[in-house]
Each structure stands twice: as C-alpha cells, then as structure tokens.
Amino acid sequence: MYLNTYRTLKDGFFGEARFPNQRIAHYSSFAIWNPDDTTDLSVIHDLPETENEKLGLKSSVVIIGLNGTGPSRNAGVWRNFHSTGSRADTRLKTFFNNPFQGAYMTDVFKTRTDKKLSLKNIHHAELDLNFTLLKEELEILDWENSPGHLMIALGNKAYELLKSSYDVKWIWHPASSKTDLDIEDDIRRLM
C-alpha cells in the first residue's frame, strides 16, 4: 500500500453527502494485531512513514464484515475490529502471520451497529448508501486494479450481500459458534 493511500484512509472523510463528517478510519482497520494485546493499535498508528510497505499493509485484500457493533465507531482511528473483550475481534488474530496479514478491514454497513442485524429491516436507500460508501473505500484502495485482489466476507450475511456485486470468498464469522480450528481451516482454504 502506498503511503498516500494509507493517509487518505486514516485522515479522510467519506465524500457521500448522505453520510456527512464521518472519518473513514472510524469504520475500518487493518488485519494487524499486537500478538500480546489485540487492542493495542500502536502496530498501525506508529508506522514510520516509510515502512507501510515493510509491514505489508495491503490494498489487494479486503476483509468485510456485515456491520460493526459496540463502541468502536467513536473510539478512534482504526479501532474497528480491535475492540476490548470482543471474542470475534480476538479470533480475527487468525489473520496474523499468514498471507492476509495487513489486509484492509471494513464492514458493509456503516450505518448500523445492531448486534444481530436483520437484513429484512434494511430499506433499499440504506443499502444503496452503504454500498456507495464501500465502493468509495475500494476506489481509494484501487482494489480492483491491485494484482491478485481478493475480497473475503466474514460470515454468510455479508457474503450474500456482496456476491452479486463482487467476486467474494467467505469464511465463518469469527463470532460464530465454530471452533478456532474451523476458522483457521477456512483461512487456509483461501491461501
């Protein structure tokens, strides 16, 4: 990932008028964790400006959940997917030390934080807004032009929403009742 892409994601705001004054980095993160403390974001925040390439932040791999939950949205830059006490966020460390480390992570829905989101309650206008926001993120990443680009959906609901618009692969959602081994097997299947 180029430094200007990282900075745009970190410091930029969504351009969509229907979603004003919302920082992109409050809704996204990267698949990088401190192995000793999954909530420690220094591994992302303290990047020396010349080391993005060395750490392997990726524009080519995008991991997408359905929607963020809990307080991560207003907790700061890159906090999404790195919450304290979240079983799912802790299990996401399975992306550490494999080819997907450093992947960009985001959610389909930026407008919802429902713990168990029912897609039946989503109106077309809200779906359209959220796909517009996702498309904006993918354009900043230049994802479609990245060699070997890959989109990974976390869980079936995200997969079902994305499959008609993107070539997407899926894995069990980290909050599912599947074992850690099941999730690790899913990730290995994609390698």
pLDDT, residue 149, reads 94
Cβ–Cβ under 8 Å, residues 30 and 44: yes
Instruction: Write out the residue range of the structural domain in which residue 31 sits.
Output: 3-190
- pTM score of the predicted model: 0.89
Q: Kindly write down the DSSP assignment for every residue of 107-171, as one continuous string.
A: EEESS---TT--GGG--HHHHHHHHHHHHHHHHHHTGGGSTT-EEEEESHHHHHHHTTTS-EEEE
In sequence order, the β-bridge partners of residue 151 are 62, 168
Q: Report the distance separating Cα 104 and Cα 95, nearest Å.
A: 11
Written as tens digits, the pLDDT of the chain (191 aa) is 877 888 899 999 999 998 988 889 989 999 888 777 777 888 887 766 655 555 578 899 999 999 876 545 556 788 787 766 667 777 777 777 788 888 999 999 988 877 778 888 889 999 999 999 999 999 999 999 998 999 999 999 999 999 999 999 999 888 888 888 888 888 888 88
What confidence score (pLDDT) does residue 55 get?
A: 55
- Which residues pair with residue 169 across a beta bridge? 152
Residue 134: closest CA among 14, 42, 36: 14
25/10 Cα distance (integer angstroms): 5
Q: What is the pLDDT of residue 130?
A: 94
Determine the pLDDT at residue 117.
83
* pLDDT attached to residue 49: 63
Give the chain's domain count: 1
Q: How many angstroms separate the CA atoms of 59 and 152, rounded?
A: 13
How many other CB atoms are found less than 10 A from the CB of residue 7? 12
Q: What is the CATH number for 56?
A: 3.40.470
Distance CA(89)–CA(93), nearest Å, equals 7
